[in-house]
Amino acid sequence: MQTRVLTGITTTGTPHLGNYVGAIRPAIEASRRADVDAFFFMADYHALIKSDDAARIQRSRLEIAASWLAAGLDPGRVTFYRQSDIPEIPELTWFLTCVAAKGMLNRAHAYKAAVDRNAEAGEDADAGITAGLYMYPVLMAADILAFDAHQVPVGRDQIQHIEMARDLGQRFNHIHGREFFVLPEALIEEQVATLPGLDGRKMSKSYDNTIPLFAGGPRQLRETILRIVTDSRRPDEPKDPDSSALFTIYRAFAGEAETAAFRQALLDGLGWGEAKQALFERVNAEVAPMRERYESFMADPAAIETILQQGARKARAIATPKLAALREALGLRSASTAGVAAARPKAAPRQDKSPRLASFRDADGQFRFRLFSAEGEELLLSMPFADPKAAGALQKQLKTDGAAAAVLRVLPRGIALEREGAVVASTPDYPDAPARDAALARLREALDQLATQDGRGPAPAHGV
Ligand code: TRP
């Protein structure tokens, strides 16, 4: 099974070399692995918490999208979208807000730090703090839980947010009696370099010590590299590579042999001026081809828009049915179904017009079953089970809970039934999305009919 790995990028800044080495490059490399199902999105709702500068947010969304695409992100392979194009995310944020303990949010690092700053300044504890900042972790949990991400690669500063997402997912699962959400894990990349900036501290916008990735072209890149702080050793004096930010940045862009040669040159007294030129050339060799792609994307925002719209469609194919199931579980149901159910319990369908399950053993001796509609159409084929009891237990679950027994995951060509993150059954392939959606409706109906066959309704989500 593929591991779903999800990453959000807050759209407030312009990518710099530190972002590239620490986040963009490793994430794109990981997204090429066959066992990874990668989701990348621009966290532009989160950006609104940090900035009310509309022009800056607009620019940053474009620059970040262009940067990731230029760096090799393949939108055909990964799911690449903007948070604000997925209305299911704010909807889920509210559902999670309603199970979030306020005390947990009080303990969030970012909020607590803001309160502490106010206390130090002798201000009211919540002075200048928006509810947006306070709710940041819930929005982030919705980003992750809406897509059942297994892993979230983050820096150490974000671990608490992943723990909160787990907590919220778990609470919701517990209250509503079913594994609605996969509980995500933080993926901390220990070996990923944090790049030093111009002054030797971590490269970060907040220290104003960054080297731009693409902005300003090769000239800006070179001029910024010339501003890297070095010691005052003259040419011919041996330099200490290990205490030099310049060398650390070089190493992040060079292979082993090149790095060893550069280290030796510094030890042999290479002048800082020449060393900076060598660094510029090394970085530019990797960046230049990407910069060309970046510039052509920036010149064609409509192309970016198309890619992001396609990404949003892919993402919503997962989030929409997921939120539909959640609405159902929460009681946000169609008035007509509720009214009918209350007025007259559904009569048991006639025996000859019922969907049915049929078990069989496949060629490998494994146990499987199919679900047929009342009309005899094959709707579902289970995965093979070595243990007949497991196959039986799943059928029993479908008979008691109907469609609520599993997560119905909408795929491009069909639908997969998932329990605890694993696919347990799937539909045949359908030729196109409308055919698939119609099949989804028939499948839901058949599953729910199955569960009402002996006169009971599908089991309520709460284990009453
Ligand atoms: N909070 C993250 C950051 O500042 C950005 C983010 C928003 C995110 N939603 C996410 C990261 C979901 C991972 C998953 O870096």
pLDDT at position 352 over 80: no
61 vs 459 pLDDT, higher one: 61
Q: How far is the CA of 153 from the centre of ligand 1 (A)?
A: 9
Q: How far is the CA of 280 from the centre of ligand 1 (A)?
A: 31
Out of 41, 51, 154, 157, mutate this one to test ligand 1's pocket (max ligand atoms within 8 Å of CB): namely 154
Give the CATH number of domain 3-193; options: 2.60.120.1440, 3.40.50.620, 3.40.50.150, 3.40.50.1100.
3.40.50.620
How large is the average pLDDT for residues 140-158?
94
Residue ranges of alpha helices (H) inside 299-415 are: 301-330, 335-343, 388-401
How large is the average pLDDT for residues 113-121?
97
pLDDT at position 338 over 70: no
Nearest protein Cα to ligand 1, atom 10: 8
Out of 4, 5, 9, 163, mutate this one to test ligand 1's pocket (max ligand atoms within 8 Å of CB): namely 9
pLDDT at position 348 over 80: no
Confidence band (pLDDT; 50, 70, 90) for 83? very high
Confidence band (pLDDT; 50, 70, 90) for 268? very high
Confidence band (pLDDT; 50, 70, 90) for 336? confident
Nearest protein Cα to ligand 1, atom 12: 8
Residues within 6 Å of ligand 1 by CB:
6-8, 10, 43, 46, 140, 143-144, 152, 154, 158
Out of 24, 41, 46, mutate this one to test ligand 1's pocket (max ligand atoms within 8 Å of CB): namely 46
Out of 93, 143, 162, 163, mutate this one to test ligand 1's pocket (max ligand atoms within 8 Å of CB): namely 143
CATH topology agreement for domains 3-193 and 333-452: no
| Tokens at 273, concatenated | 């001026």
Q: How far is the CA of 10 from the centre of ligand 1 (A)?
A: 7
Distances (CA, A) of 429 to 172, 199, 216, 342: 32, 57, 49, 37
Amino acid at 290: M
pLDDT at position 452 over 90: no
Q: How far is the CA of 394 from the centre of ligand 1 (A)?
A: 36
Q: How far is the CA of 28 from the centre of ligand 1 (A)?
A: 16
Confidence band (pLDDT; 50, 70, 90) for 191? low
Q: Which CATH architecture has domain 214-290?
A: Orthogonal Bundle (1.10)
Ligand 1: atom nearest CA of 149 is 14
Q: How far is the CA of 411 from the centre of ligand 1 (A)?
A: 25
Is the domain defined by 333-452 classed in CATH 2.30.29.80?
yes
pLDDT at position 74 over 80: yes
Nearest protein Cα to ligand 1, atom 6: 8
pLDDT at position 464 over 60: no
Confidence band (pLDDT; 50, 70, 90) for 351? very low
Q: How far is the CA of 326 from the centre of ligand 1 (A)?
A: 23
Ligand 1: atom nearest CA of 143 is 12
Considering only CA atoms, which of 341, 315, 458, 306 is closest in space to residue 397? 458
Task: Kindly report, residue by residue over 231-261, the tens digit of the pLDDT.
Answer: 999 999 999 999 999 999 999 999 999 999 9
d(C-alpha 415, C-alpha 443), whole Å:
9
Residue ranges of alpha helices (H) inside 124-270 are: 131-145, 159-176, 217-226, 245-253, 256-267
Residue 49's region, left for phi above 0, alpha for psi from -120 to 50, else beta, is: alpha
Q: Where are the domains of the chain?
A: 3-193, 214-290, 333-452
pLDDT of residue 456: 53
Residue with tokens 């306020």: 102
